[in-house]
A and B are shown apart, each in its own frame.
Chain A
């Protein structure tokens, strides 16, 4: 399989000890987390999480199982409210906001264990993503006023257009729950995109995909970034994907960031190697 080289930006440092692509310098970063942390009882699930993501950056969040990656996503989307620290989305503090408000402010996500509306059609799933884009009142729906027809038509066209990113427009009429696994993951991404996000969070988008599907997914993630000019933060265990397309990578272990940097920095970081492979035994004690 031919290795495809993805166009990555040159990474430059910013004041919060993160690096962002050079092209995003001078613009408000899409996401700035400072000293973010959450405790579950006595357990510090995430602690001192400081990260900046540029406006059009593809960033990766990796780490061993149980490191707190999904917890970070849940903090960003306010499923959990942080115990400490701040999250700035596009320069605006998100303290006290609800999951729904966060989505309207511009964060959309997918889930590690797929959460589709499985009894509804593929098209309806995307249309539900368009809920806050193509608005009309319940009254105009019941009375079938012109607003209903206009917005429904627009939603239908937009849904098919979004589905065409993954060549899924032919599946529009199928029940979402009946799709193969890989297609369900792609549909979740389309649904998230339908909410018109500025930052897209992907939780293990390649889980359960075969290598050729993963390669295709990599191309599509890059395509989504280029077309929509949004930032993408992804959690992934497939290192080919992470090292292949992520510009900035953040490594989490036991709730703490142990390394940040480009793919090269991460691959050579002794702490990262230790977290993944374990500590090299020095001389065995006799």
Chain B
């Protein structure tokens, strides 16, 4: 058994430890939560951490694996969150079983985010250069404002949607007495039933890992990485550039949508400004700090950098300062040759691989 494990390829071993780490972390945290050992604030971090892990891993697919800069990942999260919330609230009568409703909401969120990904990706990814960064930046802003103009309600006749350009209110949907308001323009969605649970977050993280890792270690992943490394050479061996760029980008958008749906269903109310440019940059920081193309790095970075500012809350005004200092220190440390050499000595196996490579 052990010998078989050693004969595995390096990437397969890394993937195995990534899955193992996530499973162990889940079991430990879940046990602690069930035993009541976690404070309510720590408990409340668990689902958002899962969401941001999925966000970071999916953005890594675009930025690290495909090599295109996306500055509007929170936009896809937003699309997923609001479509997921609409789905969950409209189906509350039809499907009383909460986990199934949550799963459907996540699916709907992923689907709508993927569609948005098609709309953004198809025109932009055909171009060469940094256009994707510019367009996704704009997309993140536009989607926020669009959702601010939405009025959505649900009654016995079905969904009512108005795109509010004047001073309409939720009354203008003319719903009957069974009606519930889902999205009230700039006020966002309110009265959301909290469907998200930590186990659901864990399952979503695992699904994301299976999708991303299996894709990367396959013909599709190799084609995507070939485009990143050398576009001209990739074309010369017959790889359809646009197709594989789109596959990676849309998968990334869909996963962000799924994360958004889970995130949206974790709070009683939701406003679109929560998914602004800062959120996109935050996720990008997770990816860059965890290492471009490094999936487990994204997971660790997302967890640590989510917990850090939350844990520093007691320092109030100084917490963003401390956060920035930590970011700078990590950047310096990971680029320090002496520190790397020290790590190499501490972890002999790693050193051996370095010498071989």
Contact = CB atoms under 8 A, between A and B. Distances in A.
Which of A131, A134, A194 has the largest count of B CB atoms less than 10 A from its CB? Answer: A131
Interface string B144-173: 000000000000000000000000000000
A144 B238 contact: no
Interface residues of B, number: 29
Interface string B178-204: 000000000000000000000000000
Contacts of B232: 79, 111, 115
B44 interface: no
Interface stretch (A38-46, A82-90, A122-130, A263-271): A122-130
Interface in A240-279: none
A139 to B, nearest CB: 10
Contact of B215 (A118, A142, A174): A142
A198 interface: no
A117 B220 contact: no
A79 B232 CA distance: 9
Interface in B199-246: 210-211, 214-215, 218-223, 225-226, 228-230, 232-241
B344 to A, nearest CB: 17
Contacts of B226: 117, 120, 128, 131
Interface string A102-139: 01100011010001111110001001110110111010
A17 interface: no
A142 B237 contact: no
Given A119-B225, A136-B219, A178-B357, A108 B237 contact: yes
B237 A118 contact: no
Contacts of B233: 111, 115-117
A128 B218 CA distance: 10
Nearest to A137: B220
Interface in B337-357: 356-357
Which of A129, A138, A144, A151 has the largest count of B CB atoms less than 10 A from its CB? Answer: A138
Contact of A174 (B211, B225, B247, B357): B357
Contact of B236 (A109, A138, A144, A148): A109
A191 B237 contact: yes
A26 to B, nearest CB: 30
A131 B237 contact: yes
Interface of B: 10, 210-211, 214-215, 218-223, 225-226, 228-230, 232-241, 247, 356-357
7 contacts: A100-B240, A109-B236, A120-B225, A128-B222, A131-B222, A142-B210, A144-B214
Given A103-B237, A118-B230, 13 more contacts: A100-B241, A103-B235, A118-B229, A119-B225, A119-B229, A120-B225, A124-B222, A131-B219, A131-B222, A131-B237, A142-B214, A143-B214, A152-B218
